[in-house]
Chain A
Amino acid sequence: MNLDTAFWIALFFSTLRQTTPLLLTALGGMFSERSGVVNIALEGIILFGALTAAVVVERLEYALGPGPHPWLPWVGVLSAMAVGGLVAWVHAVVSIKYRADQIISATAINLLALGAPSLVLTYFYGNATNSKEVVNRLPLLGPEGFALSPLVYLAFLLVPLSWWVLFKTPFGLRLRAVGEHPEAADTLGVNVYRMRYIGVVLSGILAGLAGAYLAIGFLNQFVRGMSAGMGFISLAAMIFGKWHPLGILFSTLLFGFASALAIQLQGTEILPAVLVQAFPYVVTVLVLAGFMGKSRPPAAVGKPYEK
């Protein structure tokens, strides 16, 4: 067993790459839960975002002809964010306006994300499991050999930004108030419903971004089930990070490290790959079970508000 420097460097960069989608999604989940709406639909929204990014970029390539189009992947990213926001909006309408059980409504969206991509893929490509590969992936930024996708930088930049938004702006104050005590916020003239809609749609936009990263940053196509539980792991990371951007940064790094380790160990003879793949999931269960201090969710989370 020899693990040299190259292994550790590869592990480090792999950790960053694995953390990115988790971080984006977990920050999104934080905005949603801080506003009082549980959004376990993030898993499905990642898939919808990934599907949109891959299909939009591939179809545009098909229409525009060959050749590099440096702006093309960004169109894919934007459309993935739009679709992510739209799907989250559906969850918001059903759970805020129609006071549905938030977990059931979100599960419906996750179920939809299992079936709907097959219909779209069959329509465009004639097979139900993956899209065609795209040529215009997201570019890499950074020095030769250490380049990372711009979305990786963006994800880590979003940590201080969302901390600032959440704790230093009136918007953040209102968002937190709506999740802690909607009646009180309502009395003070805060539009509870609107804040919750914003929180949920924001989470969808970020999860859609994570999906775009998976489809045209990490890979170059959409593959069925490519989110592989990342949405759920993100939610666990969010709970572990105590609904706080900094906590979320550290917990997603932990999960990112677990997945990166799983990937890096696959080629070696240390542990069988099929078992190593279960590693992040086991970590999630252990973390939720008690390797964490007392954490308190926003008081009104999961409860529909009725004026």
Chain B
Amino acid sequence: MLTDERRLGVLVALGGGILLLLWYLAPWAVPHRLFGGEGVLLSPFGHHLPQGSLPPGYRDGWLLWTFYPSLAWLALTLVLAWIPKPARKLYLMGILGLGLFLLTYLLFQASVAQVNAGAERPILRRYSLGLGSYATLAYSLYLLLLARLFAPGGLAFLVRRRGVVVPLFSLLLASLLGGVIVAVMKKAPGEAQSLREALMLKLDLITYTYQLLYSPLVNPSGFLQSLLLATPLIFTGLAVALGFRGGLFNIGAPGQLILGAIAAMLVGVYLPGPRWLVLPLAILAAALAGGLWGALPGWLKARFGAHEVINTIMMNYIAASLFLFLISANEYKFFGRTLYLPFKYPGYEARSHEIRLEARIPHWTELVAPGGELSFALPLALLLGLLGYFLTRKSLGHRVLLGLLGGVVGYALGGLLPGPSVNFGPDLTSVRLNGAFLLALLALFFFHFYVFRTVGGYELRAIGLAPKAAEYGGVLAGRKVVLIMFLAGALAGLAATHYVLGGGIDEYRLKQALPYSVGFDGIAVALMGQNTPLGVGLAAWLFGILLTGGLQVNLQLGISRELVAVLQALIVLFIAAGGFLPRYFTDPLRAAEVEVREEARKREERGEAR
């Protein structure tokens, strides 16, 4: 069996061996690092690996001494794992390990702070724990997982959460493979005297790469930037996920995005009028154009049985041509006759005219703090809206109405409340995050509401799970396919509002630099998020973080940003293969079968005992 207690000791010993190896090979902490990745590596075995010099006054303090209690802790876990009924003890050891890691972290922060406190400008700016310390953390989590797994019902616990387990495990596998790629592609900075030092430098390089990739989590401007990059991914992720839910594979999000961008530009530039009219119209136009572009392959499938995968891809290329046709020149020859177009802005660059002020989606500073005063309108609207939706016990229609009402009341109340004045630094205001992010959150809510709370969504899921049964149950399959593709296209089209109306790139225009390939990234987002709204939101944010961090990786280490694209592709591949996990995890029927067999075995054992 998978959770036979006799195997626990082996698994712990295996993990412990790897941990010991990492402690020996990987640095414990890196207090000082240069821009290109060179650093002073600390290791409890022997001493520093100087690839630079530590500033005067730096003391390790008790940092390296945390290694010895860690060693004792590891030895204890290895012993405990072989004593009968180890699960509960391993819980304790896991928590103890987390404590040890926290202690290491605090001691390290203190030793760095001590140096920086003495100087005017911080002397140590790029500092971090090393892979050796992080390994402690990882091993503690591994122990906790094993303890849960080997407690009664542990495997069933994991199988029930396969929607989380498979993506996370795939992320882990992709990261490991990404680490190998980094190790091969990039020469470690610094001179190594021995094989161990060479390995240490490589491991540190990989760790540093991932630290940079996840660095947006810990600095405010990177955080905002990750939300900015997540915004279009939420839309395209939902566009792909909606297709998956309905049994369709929508690879057409890039084309739908382009059409949305064109429509948003046409309304935004050429339709005069007041803001309350033009802005919603421009957003609607984007959704409508993207929707129609998506509905066409849907119709071709329903009417002629043409597979949507190749058709949506062809529609992507056609859309790209149309896009270039509109904004790359204003004068074309048709059979010798000349055609004049008004769309391209004069000049060398291929771009449209500027979006009118009325049609622009406001920048995040205008939403959070209009006129320099912090506004409570949005948070209150969100809070009251959610309260209205979730706290009422009535029919769905009533709940939605109350939710909307709560939102409006919250917005009005919050708008009236006076807020403290705030002043954002230039690194924050320069991030072009805009109201399209709120639109993306609304889209997540719409997805949840439509797919899981309405009859139409029920039909959609029915078609995705069992098309023939759904048709027998009265779903008009052809019409439904067109509708699904329309809605998916509309979601992808809305992604364009972020770029064109929200100025998500650098201008309020339609530009040749429109990154429509985020439509493909939507596939990874949908799979990673397992086609659920919460999952898609989180996955989009994760990729937003990685994309932001990828810039830092490129800047500091000279590794191509496409490392992130490779990681995404690997994640998709691994999720497709069920994370290479045993069938038990990926196939619910198989899981049930194993559970029934396990029950029977236990009953038999009990019978014998009697």
Interface, chain A (partner B; CB < 8 A): 1, 40, 90, 94-95, 98, 100-101, 103-105, 107-109, 111-112, 114-116, 118-119, 121-123, 128, 228-229, 232-233, 235-236, 239, 269-272, 274-275, 277-278, 281-282, 284-285, 288-290
Question: Does B79 touch A at the CB level, under 8 Å?
Answer: no
- Kindly state the separation between the CA atoms of A98 and B181 in the bound complex, as whole angstroms: 24
Q: A109-B569, A114-B520, A275-B325 are in contact. Are A229 and B317 (CB under 8 A)?
A: yes
- Residue numbers in B under 8 Å from A278 (CB-CB): 317-318, 321-322
- Residue pairs across A and B with Cβ atoms less than 8 A apart, 23 shown, are A103-B249, A103-B309, A104-B527, A105-B576, A108-B573, A111-B523, A111-B572, A115-B569, A116-B562, A116-B569, A228-B317, A229-B317, A235-B310, A269-B335, A272-B329, A278-B321, A281-B317, A284-B310, A285-B311, A288-B310, A289-B303, A289-B304, A289-B311
- Residue numbers in A under 8 Å from B334 (CB-CB): 270-272
What is the distance, in angstroms, from B351's C-beta to the closest C-beta of chain A? 15
For chain B residues 161-207, which have a beta carbon within 8 Å of chain A?
181, 185
Establish whether residues A94 and B562, one from each chain, have CB atoms under 8 Å apart when the complex forms. Answer: no
- Residue numbers in A under 8 Å from B564 (CB-CB): 115
Question: Does B570 touch A at the CB level, under 8 Å?
Answer: yes
**In the complex, the 6 A-B pairs of residues with the closest C-beta atoms, listed nearest first:** A115-B565, A278-B321, A108-B573, A118-B562, A111-B569, A112-B569
Chain B, residue nearest A119 (CB): B560
- Kindly state the separation between the CA atoms of A239 and B306 in the bound complex, as whole angstroms: 10
The interface bits of chain B over 569-591 (1 if a CB of A lies within 8 angstroms of the residue's CB, else 0) are: 11011011110100000000000
- Kindly state the separation between the CA atoms of A236 and B517 in the bound complex, as whole angstroms: 22
What is the distance, in angstroms, from B200's C-beta to the closest C-beta of chain A? 23
Chain A, residue nearest B577 (CB): A98
Establish whether residues B317 and A112, one from each chain, have CB atoms under 8 Å apart when the complex forms. Answer: no
- Kindly state the separation between the CA atoms of A288 and B573 in the bound complex, as whole angstroms: 28
Chain A, residue nearest B319 (CB): A278
Interface, chain B (partner A; CB < 8 A): 181, 185, 249, 251, 300, 303-304, 306-307, 309-311, 313-315, 317-318, 321-322, 324-325, 328-329, 332-336, 517, 520, 523-524, 527, 558-566, 568-570, 572-573, 575-578, 580
- Residue numbers in B under 8 Å from A228 (CB-CB): 317
Establish whether residues B325 and A108, one from each chain, have CB atoms under 8 Å apart when the complex forms. Answer: no
- Residue numbers in B under 8 Å from A100 (CB-CB): 576-578
Establish whether residues B318 and A1, one from each chain, have CB atoms under 8 Å apart when the complex forms. Answer: no
- Kindly state the separation between the CA atoms of A104 and B248 in the bound complex, as whole angstroms: 12
Q: Give the residue of A112, A123, A128, A277 whose beta carbon is less than 8 angstroms from that of B573.
A: A112
Establish whether residues B325 and A104, one from each chain, have CB atoms under 8 Å apart when the complex forms. Answer: no
- Kindly state the separation between the CA atoms of A109 and B309 in the bound complex, as whole angstroms: 15
- Residue numbers in A under 8 Å from B329 (CB-CB): 272, 274
- Kindly state the separation between the CA atoms of A119 and B321 in the bound complex, as whole angstroms: 27
Q: Give the residue of A112, A239, A269 whose beta carbon is less than 8 angstroms from that of B336.
A: A269
- Residue numbers in B under 8 Å from A282 (CB-CB): 314, 318
Chain A, residue nearest B558 (CB): A122
| Sample of 5 further A-B pairs with CB below 8 A, known A40-B309, A232-B310 | A100-B578, A122-B185, A228-B317, A269-B336, A288-B304
- Residue numbers in B under 8 Å from A112 (CB-CB): 566, 569-570, 573
Q: A1-B335, A118-B560 are in contact. Are A107 and B572 (CB under 8 A)?
A: yes
Q: Give the residue of B313, B335, B572, B577 whose beta carbon is less than 8 angstroms from that of A229.
A: B313
- Residue numbers in B under 8 Å from A275 (CB-CB): 321-322, 325, 332
- Kindly state the separation between the CA atoms of A233 and B575 in the bound complex, as whole angstroms: 27
Q: Give the residue of A40, A128, A270, A274 whose beta carbon is less than 8 angstroms from that of B560.
A: A128
Establish whether residues A101 and B576, one from each chain, have CB atoms under 8 Å apart when the complex forms. Answer: yes
Most buried by B among A107, A114, A239: A107
Establish whether residues A107 and B251, one from each chain, have CB atoms under 8 Å apart when the complex forms. Answer: yes
Establish whether residues B578 and A109, one from each chain, have CB atoms under 8 Å apart when the complex forms. Answer: no
Chain A, residue nearest B182 (CB): A119
Q: A104-B576, A114-B565, A274-B324 are in contact. Are A281 and B314 (CB under 8 A)?
A: yes
Establish whether residues A108 and B562, one from each chain, have CB atoms under 8 Å apart when the complex forms. Answer: no
Chain A, residue nearest B339 (CB): A272
Establish whether residues B315 and A285, one from each chain, have CB atoms under 8 Å apart when the complex forms. Answer: yes
Q: A236-B310, A288-B310 are in contact. Are A122 and B560 (CB under 8 A)?
A: yes
Establish whether residues A111 and B300, one from each chain, have CB atoms under 8 Å apart when the complex forms. Answer: no
- Kindly state the separation between the CA atoms of A101 and B325 in the bound complex, as whole angstroms: 36
- Residue numbers in A under 8 Å from B561 (CB-CB): 118
- Residue numbers in B under 8 Å from A271 (CB-CB): 333-335
- Residue numbers in B under 8 Å from A290 (CB-CB): 304, 306
- Kindly state the separation between the CA atoms of A289 and B307 in the bound complex, as whole angstroms: 9
- Kindly state the separation between the CA atoms of A105 and B573 in the bound complex, as whole angstroms: 5
- Kindly state the separation between the CA atoms of A269 and B185 in the bound complex, as whole angstroms: 47
Establish whether residues B573 and A109, one from each chain, have CB atoms under 8 Å apart when the complex forms. Answer: yes
- Kindly state the separation between the CA atoms of A64 and B307 in the bound complex, as whole angstroms: 49
Establish whether residues B580 and A98, one from each chain, have CB atoms under 8 Å apart when the complex forms. Answer: yes
Q: A94-B577, A115-B565 are in contact. Are A272 and B304 (CB under 8 A)?
A: no
Establish whether residues B318 and A285, one from each chain, have CB atoms under 8 Å apart when the complex forms. Answer: yes
Chain B, residue nearest A229 (CB): B317
Establish whether residues B310 and A269, one from each chain, have CB atoms under 8 Å apart when the complex forms. Answer: no
- Residue numbers in B under 8 Å from A289 (CB-CB): 300, 303-304, 306, 311
- Residue numbers in B under 8 Å from A123 (CB-CB): 185
- Residue numbers in A under 8 Å from B310 (CB-CB): 40, 232, 235-236, 239, 284, 288
- Kindly state the separation between the CA atoms of A267 and B561 in the bound complex, as whole angstroms: 36
Most buried by A among B309, B311, B334, B569: B569
What is the distance, in angstroms, from B568's C-beta to the closest C-beta of chain A? 6
- Residue numbers in A under 8 Å from B333 (CB-CB): 269-272
- Residue numbers in A under 8 Å from B578 (CB-CB): 98, 100
Establish whether residues B562 and A115, one from each chain, have CB atoms under 8 Å apart when the complex forms. Answer: yes
- Residue numbers in A under 8 Å from B569 (CB-CB): 108-109, 111-112, 114-116
- Kindly state the separation between the CA atoms of A288 and B170 in the bound complex, as whole angstroms: 35
Q: A108-B570, A119-B566 are in contact. Are A232 and B559 (CB under 8 A)?
A: no
- Residue numbers in B under 8 Å from A115 (CB-CB): 562-566, 568-569
- Residue numbers in A under 8 Å from B562 (CB-CB): 114-116, 118-119, 122, 128
Establish whether residues A285 and B185, one from each chain, have CB atoms under 8 Å apart when the complex forms. Answer: no
- Kindly state the separation between the CA atoms of A289 and B314 in the bound complex, as whole angstroms: 12
- Residue numbers in A under 8 Å from B558 (CB-CB): 122
What is the distance, in angstroms, from B78's C-beta to the closest C-beta of chain A? 34
- Residue numbers in B under 8 Å from A119 (CB-CB): 181, 185, 559-560, 562-563, 566
- Kindly state the separation between the CA atoms of A111 and B569 in the bound complex, as whole angstroms: 5
Establish whether residues A288 and B563, one from each chain, have CB atoms under 8 Å apart when the complex forms. Answer: no
- Residue numbers in B under 8 Å from A104 (CB-CB): 249, 523, 527, 572, 575-576
Chain A, residue nearest B186 (CB): A123
- Kindly state the separation between the CA atoms of A277 and B324 in the bound complex, as whole angstroms: 11
- Residue numbers in B under 8 Å from A272 (CB-CB): 325, 329, 332-334
Q: A271-B334, A272-B325 are in contact. Are A232 and B577 (CB under 8 A)?
A: no
- Kindly state the separation between the CA atoms of A100 and B166 in the bound complex, as whole angstroms: 13
